[in-house]
Amino acid sequence: MARRVMMGIQELRLRLRERVADVQRGIHTIFTRHGVPVAVLVDVDWYQRATEAIGEDPLGFETVPPPSKDNAET
């Protein structure tokens, strides 16, 4: 079983690089907004197994273009 940690979205913005490194070490991160879980960062192998287990294509995703300067979040 993977180790899990929980953090807020604001902390994610500050520590994304560290969280990605943690995923590579088997640590999944649950992100919260106002204390409510909203997303999970997991490794690709875990994601592929989970999507295949529910009958979905693990590589069926859309590529999102980077935000333009006019639409970038502040």
Q: Give the domain CATH number at 41.
A: 3.40.1620.10
pLDDT digit string (tens) for 7-47? 777 887 888 888 889 998 999 888 888 889 988 889 888 88
- Tell me the C-alpha distance between 13 and 64, whole Å: 18
In a domain, 71, yes or no: no
Name the pTM for this structure: 0.62
> What is the number of domains present in the chain?
1
Quote the domain boundaries for residue 48. 3-53
Cross-strand partners of 31: 7, 39
Task: Give the distance from CA 53 to its chain's centroid.
Answer: 19
What confidence tier does 62 reach under pLDDT thresholds 50, 70, 90? low
5, 22 contact by CB (below 8 A): yes
